Structures are given as structure tokens and as C-alpha cells.
Chains A and B, each alone.
Chain A
Amino acid sequence: MRADSPGHNAQSPSTAAPATRAVLEQVLEAATDRAGGTEAALIGRDARLVYPANGFAVDLDYAALDHALAGHEQRTLSAADGPAVAPGSSAQPTCWHVRRLPADLSVFLVVVDAAAPSGVEHSSDQRLDMLTAIAARYWVGDGTDLPLLAAAEAAPGGITIADARLPDLPLVYVNAMLCRMTGYARADFIGRNCRFLQAGDREQPGPAEIRDALARDQPSTTELWNYRADGTAFRNRLDIAPVHDATGGVSHYIGLQQDITREHELEQRVVAERDRMAAIIEASPAGLLVLDDEGCVRFANPAAEQLLARSRETLVGADFGVPVPSAEPAELGILRPDGRIGVAEFTVIRSNWDGEPAWLGMLYDVTARKEAEEEVSEMAHTDHLTGLANRVRLRERLKIAKAQARHTGELFALLMLDLDRFKQVNDSLGHPAGDRLLQDVAARLEGAVRARDTVARLGGDEFAILADGVDSADGASMVANKVLATFAEPFEIDQYSILVGASVGIALLPQDSTDVDSLLSLADMAMFSAKGVGGSTARRYTSDMAARNSERMDVEQRLRRGLDRDELVVHYQPQVRLADETVAGFEALVRWQDPQRGLVGPDQFIRAVEELGLIDKLGAQVFAIACRQVAAWESRLAANVTMAVNLSARQVRGPELLDSLQPTIAATGVQAARLVLELTESAATERPKATRSVLSELRQRGMRIALDDFGTGFSALNELRTLPIDQIKIDRSFLAGVPGDSAGEALIHAIIDMSHGLGKTVLAEGVETREQAIFLRAAGCDYAQGFLYERALPAADIEQRWLPASQTGATGGNTE
């Protein structure tokens, strides 16, 4: 409002406001009286009603005013618009700021401005204060003293009142709070639609919602961005309700406005946080399950859906089970609908869901890792040569069997199997052939048992079978027999047909033992027992085997020690010329002076020595003793005798033999010509080529070779012809029925004739009777050896009985 001209000043500016109020009150009172006694009666009355009653009556340009009001336009009337003031009036309004207002209030607006003494400038706010003071009284209605204005002004939220009957719903009232909220003055609001607060931000959904609700005569609540006078945005929560007049029509809309910027930001943060959490849960590679106290699934994230291969809809409500918490993550097998089984590590914590106590379960898919581990473990548990289980796997299976036996009372049989003569195959045909044989054996064993039985290779030529559901010891024997039967057919390796036997030991779980280690050793004992009776058979473990086994272990230990302590002694058995029964030489035979058992024959310990890998050591010791002995006899007694020493198959195979014999020969000073090296027929013919060269070399060095146990092997006669040997020793078994058994006699004749034909001498072993000696001499046999003449005796006894100084001069070498 512009300032009045100075000449129109009638009142002191300092008292203007109270004076104006007072005038206003008077005006109102007068108007009220005139209208019929109540302020409410003023409604709808012509504004002119109020003027004549007071001295401040203003003569307005009613036409212009009416026009302005009727046109609902905002218009400023200036003094120039009409002869504004009645004569005598000191009030000389210079300006009317007329806004489009409800008809009721326009009265007062006019009054206010008109009443303003000229020269007194009211700020827009002051004017509106006055206006609202009146408006408030109007709004109170009949007979009510409630100071609504004061209440509205004191309200902690913004309040607006808009006129519903005017186009575009202009505001007729805003309270102080709204002004504070927005930074706008009341004058900025009055007569305008509230939407200006949206500034340029018009694309918000809120206003449309409001309009829709109001169109249905319904209250409405919405939120939208509004802008303060300074341009800053605030979030406004708007509650708008229609106000009905006496006729039931909507006269006004009252609005409550709240600056909820902070709450909104907070909410946005919470929503953002929730969205982030949700995104994490959705994206989490760990399966998350919320289980209620009944074990029912209440929530499952996508990873859980994937792991369990079930949709969230299927999972929610499904009975997963009440988790039993454990210190370590539990490993769960996940049963998927398609039958695949996954593995997941499951950890669980106590939590809440919808305000109820619940479990939060976390599932980590370890299926791939588990499979990889199993593959590695499979490799670690497999024998690479045969693809069978190895010892580690067998032990695992035994442990499971042990538990199963305990739970179900099932009987298991553990079969321990060792090939007979495998070493010979390996030694004679080479390792690759031996490996193929093991593979073939593995295949046959697997074929002989059920798929669920475990066949394992424990190393070397040792196998084991764990069979479940064996109903009795007989059942176990049946399994063993089935296994043994698979060895009936020869194995075809490198064009060779190899017949291999097997020894099987049986121990029963839980009958014999429930301890994995002892079960293995019991089956082992039984297997040794089977081997002990010649192999190709099965033996069930019996308690006395344990005693024998411990004895065997004990013997092994003592034998090892014995070899170190020179407990081996050599006895000598004479070999006589059949022609005159004079001694031609001796065979050196080893004995073991066992401190516990006394003198022990080779049949009782040689196998153990071989198993212990000490046979070379023993052979070297015997050879040295024999060499020393024959050298001593020659030098001391001038004895002209030979000394036969046994060689093992192993010794004649390599050139190392020559290297090992030579130093001994040199050290003992024995003449090579006194030495006869005996080897068995099977040893000589096993690898004919290698053996032949070794034997030739020995002969070149002056030693002679005798073929032991002739007739027990299956040497081809042609090989016999080409072997560099000097003597053939007929095995004792040929003499069993001789004389008398014509077939036996014929065989001996044949051997002697053949040997002589090949230029070899013949010695008969195991001659026990005079008749045998007579028969052999008649048959042309050169030498004999046996109990008829003498057992093997210690050197001292031999000297006394066979080498008296007087006789020795006459004796000569047995192969001359």
C-alpha cells in the first residue's frame, strides 16, 4: 500500500493500529446491529451496510467495487477511481487493495482499508491481522466464545482456509505458522490458490489426489514438495477436508500443512537402507532362511531358492525343521526335487521375524567344493595301478562296517589275499608284465564279488575284500571259494599263460574282532596260514593262529639278530663215489643255532629269511664258511674233496654273484676247482639266457655247477643240453619206490643215460638203503648222498668220521 499524502494525516501514526482496531470493533458492532444483532447475520450482506453508521463512512465507487468483486478479479482501486470519502470524514483512504475474497469477507476488507485513517500506512500483515480478527469472529458462529483465531494462530502446524465457492479455491485464511513455514506473508496467500507453493514443480502426484478426493467430498491427505519464499524446498504433508455450510454444500476447505522435511528425509533414509538391505539379501550368495519356532520357513532369499531348487512360494510354509544349533556349521545334505543331492554348511542364529522369535539360518553351498574334495579323496583312496580301493579306503570301509555291525548286527567278512608265486612272475617276466597280472587279478576279483563289496589292493600282490551281509562263517568261506575259483584259469600275459594261485585268509567282523587294525592283522595271519599249507586255499582265522603268528614275528626278530651274531652254522653231508663208496666231497647245509629252540633246519627258517630280504646275506655267509672249511681241510688234512654250496635263484640271475663270490674265494684261499655251486632246476631254467651267462662265467673261473632237485622242474631237454652244468642231482623223490617200482627205475635209468650222453656226471640224493645204492651203482650213477652214508654233521664230526689224515690222501674230486 502506498503512503497517503501528508495532508491527510488525522491521527498520530503511533496510535494508528489500536485506534484502527477500535474503529473496526465499532464498525463491526454497528454493522452487526444493523444486520440484525449477530455477526453471522452479516453474511452475504452488501458491504454498504456498514458505512452510514459511523463517521468514517466512505463513499466508495461501488460500481467499480461491485464490478471488481463480481468479476473475481484482483484489482487495486485508487483514490482516482472515485470520490472516495464522504464529506466531513477525516479518513481519507487513498488506496483499496481489493482482493478476490469470499463475499462475506470482502465486506470487512473494504471496511478495513476504508477505515484506515489517511496517512496511516498498514502493512499488508497488519491489514490481514485485522481482517482475520474479524474473519475469526465470523467463523466462530453463533454464540460461541471460543477464541478460535487465537487457537488457529497458536497451532503448531500451518492452517489454511480456502473458499470452495469461488473459482480456483482462493485462500481466505492462513495462520501464522504457515507464514513461518514458508517465509511468505499472509498477503501473499490470501486470494490465491495454495498451489503457488509448488513453484515450478508441478508434476507431483499429490495435488491430483487431493482434487480427486475433494471432488468426492472426501478429506484427503497427501505429501508434496513445496517451496519457501527463498526458493528452498520442503516436504509438505497436506490434510485437507471439506467444510459444509448449513445447506450441506461445501463452503470451504480447511487445510493442515506440516513441514515434514526432516521426517521425510529420515523416512527416505530408512527406505534407502531397507532397499539396500533387501538388495544385499536378494543378492547374497548365502542362502538365507527364516524359520519360525516350529521349523517352518517364513522367508527364503534367491540363493536359498537356488540351493534348495524350490521357489520362494514353495519354500515359505514348508517344514524345514527346527534347527539344532551346533558350535560348528552343520553339514546338511540338500534333497532337491530332481533327485540331485547338494551339500550345504548350515549355521543358525536366534533372531526375530514379524516380532516373533525365529531362527535365521544361513546355508552355504559347498556342493562343488565337496565334490572336488571327494575327487581328491577318491584319488587318495584309490590304488592307481588297478583302480581298486587302497588301504586307506579299506580302513574307512571297515570303520563304517564296524558301526553298521553294531547298529544292525550285520556280519562282515574281511578276506586277505596274497598271490602265490607272484614274485617269480615279476622277476622272470619283468615288472610291466607283473603289473598287468595285478590288473587282471583285480578285474577277476571284482567280478567275483558283489558290487557293494569292497575290493582293495593293499600293496604288492596283496589284496583284500570286504563283504557285507555274510550270514555266517560258511558264507565267508563261500565268498573265499568263489574268489579262489577265479584263479583256476591261467592269466594271459605277453603270450604267456600264467597260472597263479592265491592264499586267502578270512576274519569276521564283529565275531573275530571289532578293531580295524586287529581285524586286518587277523585276516593276515589266516592268509599266512593258508600260504603255509601250500597256498591256493582259504583259511578262516582261528585263535591259535595268533599264537603262531606272534611266534613267527618273534622268530623273524631273532633270525635277524642271529644273522648278525653268526648264529648260522654249516653242516656238511658227504657225497660218495658209488664205485668204491669213498668220499668225493661234501654239501654245505645251513643250520640256525637258535638260542631258544636249538638247532633249526633250513625248511623252518629259509622262507622267513627270504621274506625278510636277507637271503643274499645268508647265502654269502654260508659260502664264506664253506670256503674256509674246505680250504682248511685241504691245508690241515690235505683233504682232496669238493665243497657244494647252494645258490638261490636270485643269486644266479645277475652278474653281481661273481662280484660277491670272488672276494670270498680270494680271502679264504680256496681253490676254485674245489667249489661246486648247486642251483635248482627251476632256478636254472627261469631265465635261461641270463643264467647261462652267469654259469659260464663261474665255470671259466674254475668252479663247477650242479643242477639240484633234477626232475622236479619242467626244464626242456634242449635247455638242459645248452646249460653250462657239470652234474645232475637226481631228486630224492625218484628213489621212493626204488628198487621195485619199474617205472621209477626206468626214469632213473633214463636220467643217467641222458646225463652221461650230455657229458654230465650224476649224483643221486636221498639214498637211504643199501638196495638203492646197489641199484644206482648198477644203473651207472656216479655219486650218492643220503642217510645210508651220513647225515649232515658239524665239521668236527666230519673230520673225525670222514677225514682221518690217513685216508684223505686217497680221495679225489667227485667230478673227475
Chain B
Amino acid sequence: MTTYRLKLYLSGRTPETDRTIDKLRAIMADYHDDYELEIIDVLSDPQRAEDDRILATPTLVRELPQPLRRLIGDLSDTQGVLLGLEIEPTATGGGVDDIAPHGDPGVR
């Protein structure tokens, strides 16, 4: 299993951004728990966003494995995230229903 190196760009810290982080962690825990996640708050680090040419948040960047993939959206849809990150939904035997205990009920 290759290590996924992910960067998540968010605007500030709000209940919504926390939900996005929780959601991503839950998905990764269920489907590909070998990952590194860096969270970048573009409000406190605007230069970083500019350097990385981020146009909007939330943006999720998969740096590894190559090629670089960039996703935009609130990551509320598990299948969409898996598809976007090119993670095989069955890779680690996780199922969509398994997400429920981790997922924020507010999202689903």
C-alpha cells in the first residue's frame, strides 16, 4: 500500500471546516489508512495558497502517489472522494456503511 501524501487547504477554522477534516480522516481511516495529511489554513497562511495556486477552498491535493491530483468541494460524498483520490473502494475491505460511525451525522 503506497503512502498517500495529502494536503487540505481550508479557509479558517469553523464547524464546517472541522467537519471536512473529520470526513476526510474517516474516509482515509476506512479505505487507506496509510496517509499523511497536512492542513493549511489559507487565512493564516495566504502566501502558501498563492504559491500553490489554490483558487478556492476546500481544495484537497494528493501529492503522492503521482500524478498530482487536485480535488475541490466539501468532501461530503465518500464515493466522489474515493474516485477523486483514485482509491479502490474495496482496497482495504471498507464499505460505505462503515463510514457512518466516523462520519458527522450533520453531513449525511
Contact = CB atoms under 8 A, between A and B. Distances in A.
Interface of A: 295, 308, 310, 318-328, 330-335, 337, 339, 341, 344, 346, 348, 396, 399-400, 403-404, 407
B78 to A, nearest CB: 10
A295 B70 contact: yes
A322 B84 contact: yes
Interface of B: 10-16, 18, 21-22, 39, 42-43, 46, 49-50, 53-60, 69-77, 80-81, 84
B99 to A, nearest CB: 15
A320 to B, nearest CB: 5
B11 A308 contact: no
Contacts of A332: 56-58, 72-73
A330 B22 CA distance: 16
The 4 A-B residue pairs whose C-beta atoms are closest, nearest first, are A321-B72, A333-B11, A324-B73, A403-B18
Nearest to B69: A322
A334 B74 CA distance: 13
A346 B81 CA distance: 16
B105 to A, nearest CB: 14
B53 A319 contact: yes
Given A335-B49, A400-B14, A403-B21, A324 B81 contact: yes
Contacts of A333: 10-12, 42, 56-58
9 contacts: A310-B55, A318-B55, A322-B84, A324-B74, A327-B77, A330-B72, A335-B46, A335-B50, A346-B72
Nearest to A307: B56
Contacts of A320: 55-56, 70, 72
Given A332-B57, A335-B54, A400-B13, A341 B43 contact: yes
Contacts of A325: 73, 77, 80
B56 A335 contact: yes
Looking at B46, B50, B56, B71, the one whose CB has the most chain A CB atoms below 10 A away is B56
Nearest to A341: B11
A710 B43 CA distance: 62
Contacts, number: 109
A322 B76 contact: no
Nearest to A333: B11
A330 B80 contact: no
A294 to B, nearest CB: 8
B7 to A, nearest CB: 12
Contacts of A399: 15, 18
Contacts of A346: 56, 72-73
Given A332-B56, A335-B57, A322 B49 contact: no
Given A400-B15, A403-B21, A331 B69 contact: no
B72 A331 contact: no
Given A320-B72, A332-B56, 12 more contacts: A295-B71, A308-B56, A320-B56, A322-B70, A324-B72, A324-B73, A325-B80, A330-B74, A331-B74, A332-B73, A344-B56, A346-B72
Contact of B76 (A327, A335, A337, A341): A327
B70 A319 contact: yes
B11 A403 contact: no
Contact of B15 (A330, A339, A396): A396
A341 B59 CA distance: 14
B70 A403 contact: no
A407 B12 CA distance: 15
Contacts of B49: 335
Looking at A320, A328, A335, the one whose CB has the most chain B CB atoms below 10 A away is A335
Contact of A308 (B14, B55, B75, B84): B55
B71 A403 contact: no
A324 B42 contact: no
B45 to A, nearest CB: 11
A407 B59 CA distance: 19
Contacts of B69: 295, 322
Contact of A330 (B73, B81, B84): B73
Contacts of A339: 46
Given A335-B57, A341-B43, A321 B74 contact: no
Contacts of B84: 322, 324
B75 A334 contact: no
Nearest to B81: A324
B59 A321 contact: yes
B75 to A, nearest CB: 6
Contacts of B80: 324-326
B13 A324 contact: no
A310 B57 CA distance: 16
B70 A321 contact: yes
A335 B55 CA distance: 5
Contact of A334 (B14, B15, B56, B73): B56
Given A330-B76, A335-B54, A400 B70 contact: no
A396 to B, nearest CB: 7
A110 to B, nearest CB: 82
A295 B76 CA distance: 18
Nearest to A399: B15
Contacts of B77: 324-327
Contacts of A331: 16, 74
B21 A326 contact: no
Contacts of B70: 295, 319-322
B13 to A, nearest CB: 6
